[in-house]
Amino acid sequence: MREFITRRWLPGPVWLHFVVLGSVLFVLNKQLFPEPLPVLGPPKEVRLAALEDNFARMAGRLPNEEEQARFVDLLLREELLFRIGVERELYLADPAVEQRIIRNMRFVDPSTDLSDAALVSRGLELNMHLTDEVIRRRVVQVMEQLLVAAANLPEPTEAELRTAYETRKADLTSPATVSFSHVFLGERSEEDVQRLLDTVRSQGMSHAEALPLGTAFLAGFEFTELGWPAVASRLGREFSDALKAQVAGGAQNGEWLAPIASVFGQHLVMLRGFNPERPLTFEEARKALLWELKTERDQGALDTALAQLMQGYEVRRS
């Protein structure tokens, strides 16, 4: 009876009927009851809190909702890269990882007489490659490099470089720089400082001739082609702003300027040169443009690869 029923609907022997029906049922089962995807996330609270705390210290405020969402994305991407990197055993035969494990193991037991190879083996047995933050960052970094390399991106062409130059020309500038010499007077009264300035001006003293009038200064007495941020980092914002104001006011090269105060004390300053901010030529900007375009392409390739990998996981953000 069973043979009659199956033959009525399907031609051929009964065993073939069972194969066909079994295949159909297998496909239907896969469609109706698919295998659950591996779970990715949610990010560990301690990692998320560390990112938020670091942001708050740098920005002077708590992150908003959009920034918090970016932190979650960042941690999910990192976890995905680390997980795949561990599955591919990228931590094995990596010199940076090996040295980190050796260092950790010798820190735990400074008196150990085990060889480096034995320490690495022991560290792996203790799952040190899964718990050490430095190793984690290394595995993530290698995975990023592999994903970008797999994209096999071409180098930016000359036409692309020139197009980028025209598009970004307004931001491609050589910053203003200043060159100056100074005599450090320390904590002196305004009258005393002005008297010394009058002396060096009236006698037409060079910097070398005026230098004995002052005292020692650890950072040196001559500064060449410094940007304004560099001036501020060496002598303070007050000094930088005052010097910038005198340069903008028309100070001439070789001129002794009005006394300038810094966080250290009073200074007599001779201007030796000033180069205003100017646009970079294409050739001057080529190297920076090439780096920017390659970085943007690499990031785009990495984003695409990660989006594809994410599709194989059930992503939980919270």
Place of tokens 């008196």: 111
Query: pTM value?
Result: 0.70
- Report the CATH number of the 176-276 domain: 3.10.50.40
Q: What pLDDT does 178 receive?
A: 97
How close are the terminal C-alpha atoms of the chain, in Å?
A: 57
Whether 1 has a pLDDT exceeding 50, the answer reads: no
| pLDDT > 70 fraction of the chain, expressed in percent and rounded | 89
Band (241; pLDDT cuts 50, 70, 90)? very high
Contacts with 7 (C-beta within 8 Å, 6 or more apart), sequence order: 14, 17
- Asked if residue 233 has pLDDT above 50, the reply is yes
pLDDT, residue 13, reads: 64
User: How many Å apart are CA 226 and CA 269, to the nearest integer?
Assistant: 15
pLDDT confidence tier of residue 93, bands split at 50, 70 and 90: confident
Residue 6 pLDDT: 47
- Range 70-88 average pLDDT: 96
> Which class for 195: exposed (0-12), middle (13-18), buried (19 or more C-beta within 10 A)?
exposed
Per-residue confidence band for 36, with pLDDT thresholds at 50, 70 and 90: confident
Domain ranges for the chain: 2-32, 45-153+307-315, 176-276
| Tens-digit pLDDT profile for residues 112-153 | 999 999 999 999 999 999 999 999 999 999 999 999 999 999
Rounded average pLDDT over 24-49: 78
Mind giving me the DSSP string for 281-300?
A: PHHHHHHHHHHHHHHHHHHH
Longest Cα–Cα distance of the chain, Å, equals 127
Alpha-carbon distances of 191 from 181, 188, 194, 195, 198, rounded to whole Å = 22, 8, 5, 6, 11
